[in-house]
Amino acid sequence: MPDSAIRRLLEFDRQVQRDSDQSPAFLHRRDRRFALDCRARGVSPGADLWLEHVRRLRPQAPAKDPLKQWRHLTTGFALAGLIFGVMAMLGLLFYDGGQRINLTVILAFVLLQCILAVITTVQAFAGWQPWHWLLRKFSTASHSGALRPLQPMLMARAAHTGGLMFGVAGLLTLLVLVVIQDLAFGWSTTLNTGSDSYYSLLATLATPWQNLWPAAVPDRELVDATRFFRSESDGAADPALWGRWWPFVAMVWTTYVILPRLVLLAVAAIHPGLRARRELARHPGMIALQYRMETPTLDTGNRHNDAADQPDINTPGQLHPLPAAQVLIRWAGVVESELPDTLSAGYRDILAAGGNVSLEHDHRVLDKAGQVLAASTNPAAVIVTHSWEPPTGELADFLSAARNVWPSATLVALVPVATQPEQRTPDHQLSQWLRFADRCGDSQIVVSTPDVASPQPRIHRALPDGYRQ
């Protein structure tokens, strides 16, 4: 894949942002364990293996392709290059039968294309962004800061693609006009330039193909015979010589317009990948990851066991009564035998999600629950979790995906339960779930317990046999 290094950088940057919600101790244990496993297998713990390891631990929903807009922009440049290439060549070779086509104008235009190609490459290597206004207009710039240093290179790749298509379209237009029209070339300039100087210039330009196509190298007689002046009549020169210039024009266009763009496009295709590898190597998250993988986790041997110490449970969140929900979802391995009596019946559907199941299964659960909630006037769903298990990013992603599938008015109640149905959930475990709901930033996501009295009694409906899943 040509952009694999860029995708690896962006995926690594997204994972580092997700890891910011985890504790440093957890990240250290996870990454140190990964490094030890790699050492046991005799492999180097690189970024690819680490990302694969993290994906296995916590599968993520498919992310939006950050390079899709750049592909669209490159395609737009290519189409524009084809159109403008045809128009430019038609303008250069316009011939009405009176004035001959001036070869000097064509050479000046070719020189302009060479200058533009060089400037495009220089701005990519220097990191300039003269196209920044275009990026803002078409919203091509990604929100990820990791992609920002690569924008000059990606823009150069799009520009060189358009320049290459410009040159190819111009060459094809030239060949078509040579077949269907009788083109008359000549050369002239207002400056006091003799035939000797002009012939030396053309011979130098034709050096690359003088052995490949000798007919495309102009001779001294052709240069002398095809010079024209404003007051000169067309009958002063042999008309048969006017058409002998087209091979030279075709080779000049191919050598100095198409080939430079082709070479620079190859450089522009390789450059972003090299820069992405360098950005990944000096990414702050990569430096921290290498430290965690190389540094052992330490046990101080302190006899004091603080497992029973109560942490600070002050939180702005409040417990809410258990809502009259239509759907109950058992999260990450919660079994029905662990459900208290208040959660064991009264739901249209009891589903399971998270944990060891696949992402496709979670998506099917979201769709099925969404169908049930869409048919309710007061949609509500209960998600039962283990109280002793810290909230994970996987659950946060599940809730975020649920907001895109379920009705916007759906009330989601997180119910952390203890290991035994008759046990009460400890306060210090409830506090972490309250803080998790507060971080979600959604007033429709609340925390409830079976111990909190509901303002209205739950309605237990008799369900037909085989209806519960």
Burial of 245 (0-12, 13-18, 19+ CB in 10 A): buried
End-of-domain residue from the set 219, 254, 277: 277
387 in the same domain as 253 = no
pLDDT given for residue 46 in this prediction: 84
- CA atoms of 415 and 387, how far apart (whole Å): 8
23 domain-assigned: no
91 in the same domain as 162 = yes
Grouping H, G, I as helix, E, B as strand and the rest as coil, residue 213 is coil
Predicted confidence band of residue 17 (pLDDT cuts 50, 70, 90): confident
271 in the same domain as 147 = yes
Least confident of 204-208, 288-292, 321-325, 460-464: 460-464
267 domain-assigned: yes
Structure tokens at 344: 């064991």
282 domain-assigned: no
Predicted confidence band of residue 173 (pLDDT cuts 50, 70, 90): very high
337 in the same domain as 254 = no
pLDDT given for residue 176 in this prediction: 93
Predicted confidence band of residue 112 (pLDDT cuts 50, 70, 90): very high
pLDDT given for residue 297 in this prediction: 67
Tell me the CA distances in angstroms from 346 to 199, 298, 464, one per residue in order. 96, 49, 12
Q: Which residue has the higher pLDDT, 76 or 101?
A: 76
pLDDT given for residue 152 in this prediction: 87
Residue 315, pLDDT > 90, answer no
Domain span at residue 426?
319-448
467 domain-assigned: no
Predicted confidence band of residue 316 (pLDDT cuts 50, 70, 90): low
247 in the same domain as 112 = yes
417 domain-assigned: yes
Cβ atoms of 149 and 275 closer than 8 Å: yes
Strongest mean pLDDT among 140-154, 255-269, 310-324, 387-401: 255-269
End-of-domain residue from the set 257, 277, 297: 277
350 in the same domain as 415 = yes
pLDDT given for residue 359 in this prediction: 83
What CATH number does residue 350 fall under? 3.40.50
247 in the same domain as 385 = no
Chain mean pLDDT for the chain = 81
460 domain-assigned: no
344 in the same domain as 399 = yes
Could you report the per-residue pLDDT of 282-296, keeping only the tens digit for each? Answer: 888 888 888 888 888
pLDDT given for residue 463 in this prediction: 37
- DSSP assignment of 405-446 equals HS-TT-EEEEEEE-SSTTSPPPHHHHHHHHHHHHHHT-TTEE
Tell me the CA distances in angstroms from 54 to 14, 62, 169, 424, one per residue in order. 12, 14, 48, 34
224 domain-assigned: no
Q: Which residue has the higher pLDDT, 387 or 117?
A: 117
Q: How many domains is the chain built from?
A: 2
Which pTM was predicted? 0.58
441 in the same domain as 337 = yes
- DSSP assignment of 315-384 equals -S--EEPPP--SEEEEETT--GGGS-GGGSS--SEEEEESTTS-HHHHHHHHHHHHHHHHT-SS-EEEEE
pLDDT given for residue 8 in this prediction: 86
Task: Give the residue-averaged pLDDT of 316-343.
Answer: 82
428 in the same domain as 327 = yes
Q: Which residue has the higher pLDDT, 185 or 163?
A: 163
pLDDT given for residue 469 in this prediction: 36
Task: Give the residue-averaged pLDDT of 247-257.
Answer: 94
48 domain-assigned: no
Residue 87, pLDDT > 90, answer yes
403 in the same domain as 333 = yes
Could you report the per-residue pLDDT of 373-423, keeping only the tens digit for each? Answer: 888 888 999 998 988 888 888 888 889 889 888 998 889 999 888 877 777
Strongest mean pLDDT among 155-159, 388-392, 436-440: 155-159
324 in the same domain as 269 = no
Q: Which residue has the higher pLDDT, 322 or 64?
A: 322
pLDDT given for residue 1 in this prediction: 46
Predicted confidence band of residue 135 (pLDDT cuts 50, 70, 90): low
